[in-house]
Structure 1
Amino acid sequence: MSAAVQRPGPEDSLPSAVTPTAGPGAQGAPTPVPDASLEPRRTRTGTAYVASIVGIVVAALVIVFIVQNLHDATVHFLPWTFRLPEGVTILASAVAGALVVLLVSLARILQLRLTARRHRRRHAAQTLPG
């Protein structure tokens, strides 16, 4: 029994930074592969820029919503009664809901931080020599 010997083909002799091209007229000419280190990285400034654009678009949509809903609505809240445009009323309700969610999530974050601090103190006390 003889073992089959593999001979290197033309693809095997190319450096790792180039790959052969396919197609008519290419004739196996190597094409450089882009280096991953040359690609732009995400930065905080770039992320803030994208977030600003999204915020501007959302603000524009909110303004259009309010302008299209200017009919007055009577609002009854606890002992108060007042009249506001429908768009403003709905926007105020959404902001109030967002504040409630923010307060609940803030309470949860504080709870988790206190738990983590207690855990760190217990762990530090257990690992001290003596």
Structure 2
Amino acid sequence: MTRAGVVWATVVVALIVLILLIVFFLQNQDTVRVQFLGLDGFVPLGLALFIAAVAGGVLVAVAGAVRILQLRMIARRAQRTPGPRRPGRSGKAG
């Protein structure tokens, strides 16, 4: 697939997701009371659910990023320190 094809496919998928979000918001316009960390207010149900989903995604992304950083640090340490040499393996052919 060409770069232009990838861009068009991405645009189409993004538009479909956007349309689904708009439908979701239109179908969930009932106002609900939300209380969080001392804050209290009324918001549309669709917006409250969307915010909760985005917050969950952010938490997962942060946890994943922390784990990736941990693995990178472990890999760097492993590259810096040579491993134990095994007897009988000098690295020379013959």
Distance 1:87 1:56 in 2: 19
**Which residue in 1 is equivalent to 2:15?**
56
**Which residue in 1 is equivalent to 2:37?**
78
Hey, which bits of structure 1, 4+ residues long, moved more than 2 A? 42-49
RMSD of the TM alignment (CA)?
2.0
Query: Structure 2: which 5+ residue stretches go unaligned?
Result: 86-94
One-letter amino acid matched to 1:79: G
What is the DSSP-based 3-state SS (H/G/I as helix, E as strand, rest coil) of the residue aligned with 2:81? helix
Q: 2:62 matched to 1:103? A: yes
- TM-score, normalised to structure 2, is 0.78
What is the DSSP-based 3-state SS (H/G/I as helix, E as strand, rest coil) of the residue aligned with 1:73? strand
Between the two structures, name the one with larger relative contact order (CA 8 Å, sep ≥ 6).
2
Q: CA deviation at 1:45?
A: 4.7
What is the DSSP-based 3-state SS (H/G/I as helix, E as strand, rest coil) of the residue aligned with 2:29? coil
What is the DSSP-based 3-state SS (H/G/I as helix, E as strand, rest coil) of the residue aligned with 2:76? helix
The C-alpha deviation readout for 1:73-121, integer Å capped at 9, x for no partner, is: 0001121111000000000000000000010000011011111111111
Aligned residues: 84
Q: How does 1:9-24 map to 2 (within 5 A)?
A: none
Counterparts in 2 of 1:118 and 1:43: CA distance versus 1, 3 Å: farther
Counterparts in 2 of 1:45 and 1:107: CA distance versus 1, 3 Å: farther
Distance 2:56 2:10 in 1: 22
Q: Would you tell me which structure has more helix in proportion to its own residues? A: 2
**Which residue in 1 is equivalent to 2:47?**
88
**Which residue in 2 is equivalent to 1:28?**
none
**Which residue in 2 is equivalent to 1:68?**
27
